[in-house]
Structure 1
């Protein structure tokens, strides 16, 4: 069995498109079509229903798809175990992460991991939590790091780091000068916010509700698409905002912005999510052990 044929078939099923599958595989559409036609000839079944606008697997195709995913996972495990058999770990580890852990935590963890296993190549895929989970469930990545615990028998979640949502202001802002500001005072000032749908904004909305306020109670002056841009806007005096402490600390240490510590932060956890049937793969297990090793615990609360 040619694994490249299985790769092509799996990708077409997951993308519902020959052209999108070819792009993901960095191949040509005719090449992908030929691989799948060869696979169908080899197995003696039509695997794809090509008579509809969206390409879907046939009943036989669904069986092959499930088996192909299992074979790919077993092959990856075998490659890992053979590497350990020779006394070294090799291969490629693909990690998906949401923006905050992917930007502020993951690079340090990967550096420590590669210090231990320098022959392992690591790929990082940054996206929102939904994208990370979709890619994980489709076996497009090996592990995910997101800000939510997943309740699924197919996926395993392990808490690996903490963060908090904090109020940041320009240096010298009136809130920094008040001895004990009341939370409702934030309604007096312009706000800079992340765009709708961002994880940080959703956290902020939950936090406001706990404090008896709604988003509509704030004077929203600017909507921005990234946390770094929000911090730069706050520094420029466009308003105040709630952001991740992990993201805010470099700017605070550089004297660019201030944190209002008199307001209790809104805590959250980050989780390492893996497939239940793949968590014992040597590559994934070693990365998990490196991330949650005792020597890293102090860095979990930057």
Structure 2
């Protein structure tokens, strides 16, 4: 019978767990609990607890971790088994090749949101002094990722949550773009007075009905305000699309992340507001995930 981690001696070989066997132990626990990515989560938590890189983990896999590591791992494992997302345990999320601080006050940036970054950078190619507006910025990952790639671009990040903006400021400083990213608290455009080449947003788009079926790992840890899109999931899009034209420069564009089934509805909203050149892009799963549109005043 496997001895539970918290019942093992906390001293080197007496525990019977090397770094590698500790990782396997966690993987088994996570598999039995139905964790979606048990091996990855176990590896990330062991790396965080030991301070080892992925390469060092391979090289030092037969070493016995110090006693303090067991206490850290036990805490991490209990939190993960209780449903806490790996991002929140680690305190960061990797996004577009960079590490961003995340907390319960912000939505962790997802890989599919990188579509917005790629589309923005393609549109900014060859432009100088471009200005971008990130609505509902959260951790600031979208705006910061663009500014780190476009050295002369300027950004404005808006969020209703002061706590979220504090995280965005930290991330901007960490990635050396704080002097080019202004952050303001407000609801969508209420604090905006400038005009922009690009307006971007990953707004809340989950319907009230769908919210009831989300995994506890999502509803228990991600901020509700960053998820809930109203009865039809379109509340934020209606607000953004209705007001965006008066804040776009001539020939400016809007980039919006969307739910997998919202392409036709958001396209209709854009067409009603006289946007043109509307295109929909798919994520790696083949689902509609981003809409791009131009506004020619």
* TM-score of the pair, normalised by structure 2: 0.33
User: Rg bigger for which structure?
Assistant: 1
* TM-score of the pair, normalised by structure 1: 0.32
Say which structure, 1 or 2, has more relative contact order (CA 8 Å, 6+ apart): 1
Q: Which has the higher helix share?
A: 1
